[in-house]
A and B are shown apart, each in its own frame.
Chain A
Amino acid sequence: MLTYQFDPTIVQMEERSNNEEIEIQIKLLQSEPYAKHMKQVKDFFDRNEIYTEALFYFCKNNEYRIIVRPDYYVDLILMLMRHRLLQKVEWKY
């Protein structure tokens, strides 16, 4: 199982899942530079020709909702890590 940690002074994250998809609610506590990083994560998924692998919803007050298909969950977590929205990612068995 892939686990992750985030810096609670920068971001708050909450995850819910069912068999079909995983939903991640994100609230950025520091807008700069992390709001830009969120857009970069979205851009990565926008660039390919699959539309529903990860759907990004940008709300007011730096709140985000991401609905991701299970087969793209790892890609999403790694992209969040790459853009420093996560502090640590680890496989736990």
Chain B
Amino acid sequence: MYTTLLAIGIFLIIYALIITEKWNRAVVALLGASIMVLAGIVDVHQVFTHYIEWNTIALLIGMMILVTITNTTGVFQWLAIKTAKSVKGNPIHLLIMLSLLTAFASALLDNVTTVLLIVPITFSITRILKVNPVPYLISEVIASNIGGTATLIGDPPNIMIGAANKHLTFNSFLIHLGPIAAIILVVTLIMLYFIYRNKLMVSEEDKQQLVNLDENESIENIPLMKKSLFVLGLTIVGFTLHSILHVEASVIAFAGASLLLLIGLNEHQIEKTFASVEWTTIFFFAGLFTLVGGLQEVGVIKQIAKYVLDITNGDLSLAAIFILWISGIASATIDNIPFVATMIPLIQEMAASLGMAVNAPQINTLWWSLALGACLGGNGTILGASANVIVASIASKEGKGFSYMEFLKIGAPITLVSLIIANIYLFIRYL
């Protein structure tokens, strides 16, 4: 009993410290993990062999390396300028197109990476048009969270769910979450259109300035760009085939990254690329997995799973809807990564309590509910997802900040509509 209370205490304190964002979240998570081990709640061997989800970590590192190298070629800037020129500087069409571009990129790359690529270009394009960048930044973050919902590699919650469930392949995510993400994106873009269409004005002279830009000047290194796009394409094809090849998505990502490092970079550039991996995110994940492992070790997750089954009377349809809305609300208020890290073993325990396999169709519905709730809920508030926090802090640093309320006014209604659509989808397709 003492160990259980200690584990819960450590978990809650660390969770609270992460939410306050006063200290580096990776350091806080690693501190919590260390305390869990030092207190004897979880064995270090178990941590490394059982609790840390290496597939999640390897997939993230592999994709970070691939994107870092591709970004140095200037291809993303080229694409953004080309997109902006295609709408001839019309501000509301530009907002829709940049949001679409972000959503599409987010489906193939993780959200944080995508917004880090699109935000600098957004500042540049909106400045030349003399238009407020905030509506664009907010729309891009929202589109990024919706686009990321569509695939296994699009959003950290999906990466975690996919890594914990070998049977949920890249194609499963695409088939089950792709269509609903596309519908929600269309509805969201319509909402954004009506919210912003009368608030964005650009003079003809400034539109002409944009049209005069030469996007080809963005391309820095054509041979490397060709290699990067080839390897990135090959990696994505690999993701779609990973279940047929019986290879983990993380291995595909690592193989792609290794190939591009080998054929595209020299020794010095390789060192720089390794240094540019977002190690904070990686260590944050490792710490969280250990923290949640501590809770699993003392049986807390099992108890919560039983409680959820009790209040839903063991009805998995009700449990799916419950998980969707709880995940949506929780993810809107706290970062969805620690929440999903806690929910994964909980759903596994629910399956075990009902004597069902984790890959049973009924249990799969719970996984899709969790993915939809966690990813879409991230749009609820500025704190809902890592991408939101990062964009808000960059915008503030550049003197173009937006408040919690400013984001909430746009994000909350969109999240509510998204969750209602997701609820209807789950009901029609699975329940």
Residues 139-154 (chain B) with a chain A CB within 8 angstroms? none
| Interface residue? A60 (CB, 8 A) | yes
Segment from A7-15, A50-58, A84-92 that makes contact with B: A50-58
Asked whether, in the complex, the Cβ of A59 is within 8 Å of the Cβ of B123, the reply is no
Please name all residues of chain A whose beta carbon is closer than 8 Å to the beta carbon of B213 when the two chains form the complex: 57-59
Segment from B105-113, B346-354, B391-399 that makes contact with A: B391-399
With contacts A57-B124, A57-B128, A67-B127 taken as known, whether A51 is within 8 angstroms of B119 at the C-beta atoms is yes
Asked whether, in the complex, the Cβ of A50 is within 8 Å of the Cβ of B214, the reply is no
**Which residue of B214, B217, B399 contacts A52 across the interface (Cβ within 8 Å)?**
B399
**Which residue of A39, A50, A59 contacts B398 across the interface (Cβ within 8 Å)?**
A50
Please name all residues of chain A whose beta carbon is closer than 8 Å to the beta carbon of B214 when the two chains form the complex: 58-60
Number of interface residues of B (CB under 8 A): 18
B113 to chain A, nearest CB (A): 15
Please name all residues of chain A whose beta carbon is closer than 8 Å to the beta carbon of B400 when the two chains form the complex: 52
**Which residue of B217, B218, B398 contacts A51 across the interface (Cβ within 8 Å)?**
B398
Q: How far is the CA of A65 from the CA of B210 in the complex (A)?
A: 11
B279 to chain A, nearest CB (A): 16
Q: How far is the CA of A46 from the CA of B304 in the complex (A)?
A: 49
Q: How far is the CA of A9 from the CA of B213 in the complex (A)?
A: 24
Asked whether, in the complex, the Cβ of B123 is within 8 Å of the Cβ of A58, the reply is no
Q: How far is the CA of A57 from the CA of B218 in the complex (A)?
A: 10
Asked whether, in the complex, the Cβ of A51 is within 8 Å of the Cβ of B394, the reply is yes
Please name all residues of chain A whose beta carbon is closer than 8 Å to the beta carbon of B220 when the two chains form the complex: 39
Query: Among the interface residues B120, B214, B217, which one has the most CB atoms of the partner chain A within 10 A?
Result: B217
Enumerate 29 A-B pairs (CB-CB under 8 Å) in ascending A order: A39-B220, A50-B397, A50-B398, A51-B119, A51-B120, A51-B123, A51-B124, A51-B394, A51-B398, A52-B123, A52-B127, A52-B398, A52-B399, A55-B123, A55-B124, A55-B127, A55-B128, A56-B124, A57-B124, A57-B128, A58-B213, A58-B217, A58-B218, A59-B214, A60-B212, A60-B214, A63-B212, A65-B209, A67-B128
